[in-house]
Amino acid sequence: MVDLITEGYLTEFSNEFGISDLLEEDRFEHLAAWLTTRRHYSETTFSPAELVTGSGGDTGIDAIGVIVNNNLVTDVDDIEDLLEAVGYLDVIFVFVQAERSPHFDSGKIAKLGFGVRDFFGDKQLPRNDAVKNYDAIVKALYAKAAKFRPANPACFLYYVTTGVWKGEKDLVVRADAETGDLFGKGLFSAVKFAPIGASQPHHLYRQTKSAIERDFVFDKKVVVPEIAGVTSAYLGFLPVKDLLKIVSDDDKEVIKSLFYENVRDFLGLNPINQEIMKTLESGANDRFVLMNNGVTMITRGLRTTGDRFFVQDFQIVNGCQTTHVLHGLWDKLPDTVRVPFRLIHTQDENVIESVIRATNRQTEVKDDMFFAMKDFAKTLEAYFKTFPIETRIFYERRPHQYDALDIQKIRIITHQNLVRAVGAMFLGLPHITTRTFRQLTAKVGKEIFVDGDKSEPYYVSAFALYRLEQLFKNKKIEARYKAARYQILLMMRLLIDPKPLPKMNSYEMVKRCAVIIDYLQNEDAATKLIMQATEIVDLIASGWTRDTIRTEPVSKNIFQKFGQHYPG
């Protein structure tokens, strides 16, 4: 049993993720998976159900998270696309043991350590489908080990309870033994054990409900003259330790989500970053403020009291490389090291976009990265909100915009997933929604998500995906069909409306989508429709696997089944 405070948080969390019907122990596992993985990945909303490994055949691990290049990976087919996008793999593994216990147990620590060692090594323990899925992901990653940057993957072992961690010697010794054994495998750049107990889950949960806030003294600055669209702006420099406190969490880990708007993630110790480190480690490191371009922060919330600044909902839009190199030297740097610092306070999306483009001009910037700032994205967001609450979907065009709202997370669709759903349903290309996703994003602004498009097909796609995910969550259809979810979406549209589609900006599209919306709003009818689509999957791709279902021939067969011309 959990304590009353934890029970309150658990109830709220369960309502938001639609898991109130699960047993308390299972809901606590979902909560633990959510809170621990959010420490390393918080760019977009995600479902903890994708991380929880279930009971039986879980190798003693309650949840697994794999973060690659700041993307949460739950599908092995995503890896090739992520590697192709930037040319490297920056990997973090998260393993979770969750217990509703008033104390920490060395036996549980040993069980978690043994389970993780078996996962990466002997593979003697029985494995369920969820563990096998993550095993496939890990194998695919290590097959590309030469592409690991800035180092081998980091591995985090979380033990979450409602007890109090007092650092008892037997627990510490056991944890050190387990992490030491894992590190000795030579697979990781670091292995860390993190006990989460007592009030820590409460604190972490509260953090998920609000934008990151920081306060710091900014006394060495000048005020930038008035600029249209900018509330205020400042140029100056900060002591290195103050900057690092701004961008790190309580455990002194870099908060990756603060660098979401940086086009480039940390590239490791490449020649340029080695040069930065060389300067910092030299006797001339006090000149760093003159030799480095520094850091640019954009904040949507700012108040000041003298030289003390309070920022909320902010991003570091330039200086990712500098910040990470500084972080690696945190304990070695003297207080004399200062960093050039630009602070821009604005809520004008056009200003934000122009600053990001300008400060990241060294790297090609894809238009899709800035789509959330466009008028069409805002139009979609507003249109989605016109539907009654029982059929409303929330389009998350900007990370964390719905964190503070009391809504079911399953009703939130991220921009990436909306691109996938529209690409499947209205372009008829479900086979490029995963492993070759970049082919689909290249169509954003050209064939889909174009100014002037009607909003209805985008809502249809989002609502159809919501109906499908509901059935997966409630286990009304087998989990194996998740690999074919976008093929199913295409068939859902064709079962209702098998005719060739009009243009996305036509009024004919509005009328055709109205029929589909009416159909999907009837939950029973939508369920029957999805069941029928799964039957067709098995019919046109007999004996299909994850690999064979996500191919162009299957897409062609789907259109042939409905007597239509394949549009690809």
Residue pair 323/247 in contact (Cβ under 8 Å)? The answer is: yes
- pLDDT number for residue 365: 43
Domain range for 188: 4-207
Q: Answer with the one of 364, 389, 416 that is the final residue of a domain.
A: 364
380 assigned to some structural domain:
yes
- pLDDT number for residue 364: 42
Taking only the tens of pLDDT, the chain with its 568 residues reads: 667 788 888 999 999 898 998 999 999 999 999 999 988 887 778 999 999 997 787 888 999 999 998 889 999 999 998 898 888 999 999 999 999 888 899 999 999 999 999 999 878 889 999 999 999 999 999 999 999 988 899 999 999 998 889 889 999 999 999 999 999 999 999 999 999 987 777 777 777 776 789 999 999 999 999 999 999 999 999 999 999 999 998 888 888 778 866 656 676 667 777 888 888 888 888 889 998 889 999 999 999 999 999 999 898 988 888 899 999 899 889 988 999 999 999 988 788 878 877 776 544 444 555 565 577 888 999 999 999 999 999 998 877 778 777 888 999 999 999 999 999 999 999 999 988 898 999 999 899 999 999 999 999 999 999 999 999 988 899 999 999 999 999 999 999 999 999 999 999 999 999 999 999 999 999 999 999 999 999 999 989 998 899 999 999 999 999 999 999 8
- pLDDT number for residue 366: 47
Which CA distances in Å does 271 have to 168, 274, 287?
44, 5, 20
User: Which value, to the nearest 10 degrees, does the dihedral of the CA atoms of residues 434, 439, 440, 446 take?
Assistant: 180
- pLDDT number for residue 267: 66
Same-domain status, 227 and 345: yes
- 368: tokens are 């899709």
Q: Answer with the one of 364, 394, 426 that is the final residue of a domain.
A: 364
Q: In 10 A of CB 87, how many CB atoms?
A: 9
Of residues 463, 433, 434, 435, the one with CA closest to residue 448: 433
566 assigned to some structural domain:
no
For the entire predicted model, the pTM comes to: 0.78
Q: In 10 A of CB 381, how many CB atoms?
A: 17
Same-domain status, 415 and 541: yes
CA 478/CA 508 separation, integer angstroms:
36
Hey, what amino acid is at 436? Answer: T
CA 496/CA 516 separation, integer angstroms:
7
Determine whether 364 is exposed, middle or buried from the number of CB atoms within 10 Å of its CB (0-12, 13-18, 19+): exposed
Phi/psi-derived region of residue 475, left when phi > 0, alpha when psi is between -120 and 50, beta in every other case: left
Which CA distances in Å does 137 have to 44, 85, 372, 530?
20, 18, 29, 28
Q: Is the dihedral of CA 81, 41, 2, 27 positive or negative?
A: negative
Same-domain status, 116 and 193: yes
Q: Answer with the one of 364, 389, 408 that is the final residue of a domain.
A: 364
- pLDDT number for residue 86: 81
CA 112/CA 183 separation, integer angstroms:
15
Same-domain status, 251 and 291: yes
Residue pair 494/426 in contact (Cβ under 8 Å)? The answer is: no
Same-domain status, 197 and 220: no
402 assigned to some structural domain:
yes
567 assigned to some structural domain:
no
Same-domain status, 191 and 302: no
Q: Strands 190-196 and 63-68: what pairing?
A: unpaired
Same-domain status, 319 and 194: no
Same-domain status, 91 and 186: yes
CA 132/CA 217 separation, integer angstroms:
50
Q: CA angle at residue 348 from 383 to 372, to 5 degrees?
A: 45
Report the CATH number at residue 185. Answer: 3.40.1350
Helix (H, G, I), strand (E, B) or coil at 394: strand
Same-domain status, 170 and 198: yes
Q: In 10 A of CB 213, how many CB atoms?
A: 13
Determine whether 232 is exposed, middle or buried from the number of CB atoms within 10 Å of its CB (0-12, 13-18, 19+): middle
Same-domain status, 432 and 494: yes
- pLDDT number for residue 144: 96
568 assigned to some structural domain:
no
Same-domain status, 185 and 61: yes
Total tally of structural domains belonging to the chain:
3
432 assigned to some structural domain:
yes
What is the distance, to the nearest Å, from the Cα of residue 248 to the centroid of all Cα atoms in its chain? 18
23 assigned to some structural domain:
yes
Same-domain status, 221 and 197: no
